[in-house]
Amino acid sequence: MKKTLASALLILLTSATLVSAQDAKKLKIGVEGAYPPFSQIGTDGKLKGFDIDIANALCEQMKAQCTMVQQEFDGLIPSLQAKKIDAVIASMSITEERKKVVEFSDKYYHTPARLLGKKSAGLTASVAGMKGKRIGVQRTTTHDRFATDTFKDSEIVRYAKQDDVFLDLAAGRLDAAVADQPAASLGFLALPAGRDFAFFGPVYFEAKYFGTGAGIGLRKTDTALRDEFNAAIKAIRANGVYKKINDKYFDFDIYGGK
């Protein structure tokens, strides 16, 4: 009796998956959820932010059924390779280093990196000016690579989340941080905790470190999916959906030129 029940259940389950495979394409999207205003968890416990809205818009454009999988940034590429997720939409910059293991879509935005620190500290953005200072970055990000290579006489402190960098900057454990400009201005400087802090030094756009913008990360073998995403990005740029999402968060076009 038990055996027949089990096999009946098995047949039911397999047929259910077969049916659903035939209609809408199902995708698991890896997101970060700790990188405001791009990706964060709202007070209602739900994911929100620019990345999330873009992901939903792209999925709708591609007529795919997407589920968001939230996890820490340094686990996203391993999860992608382990097929736990199918695409990464987490403000991931397209860099030469990542291209070795990940297939990228075209960029969906491109913003510069900046140094930020306490207003009253009067820091200068040079190797000598930052000598002996503690600079916070998010581990394995483009900002980590850039700071490690550029500010050789400084102590680079690495965190799992960008939020933790801002927490320790506000607490005074760090002298400065290297971060994405809109993420830092809206995720920290605009908040009460960040009112004594400001950007200093130049706007960093070096392609060697910061790549050519943020793209959607995919498995090397999924080139068809990449083409679908590229077409969807073009489509939402053209039909005004992108602009609507953009204007919800920023007062300038973060797509960054052509």
Would you tell me which residues interact with another protein (CB under 8 A)? 74-75, 77-78, 81, 101, 139-140, 157-160, 164, 167-168, 171-173
As measured in angstroms, the least distance from the Cβ of 140 to another protein is 4
As measured in angstroms, the least distance from the Cβ of 179 to another protein is 16
Nearer to another protein, 106 or 164 (CB): 164
As measured in angstroms, the least distance from the Cβ of 146 to another protein is 15
As measured in angstroms, the least distance from the Cβ of 80 to another protein is 9
* For helices 223-238 and 241-249, angle between their N-to-C axes, nearest 10 degrees: 80
Look at residues 193, 157, 153, 152 and name the one whose alpha carbon lies nearest to residue 178.
157
* For helices 50-62 and 241-249, angle between their N-to-C axes, nearest 10 degrees: 170
Nearer to another protein, 38 or 159 (CB): 159
Nearer to another protein, 146 or 159 (CB): 159
Look at residues 191, 141, 186 and name the one whose alpha carbon lies nearest to residue 161.
141
State which amino acid sits at residue 4.
T
As measured in angstroms, the least distance from the Cβ of 172 to another protein is 6
* Residues 245, 99, 70, 30, CA torsion sign: positive
Nearer to another protein, 152 or 173 (CB): 173
Nearer to another protein, 34 or 59 (CB): 34
Nearer to another protein, 171 or 224 (CB): 171
| Residues in Cβ contact with 1 at an 8 Å cutoff, skipping those fewer than 6 apart | none
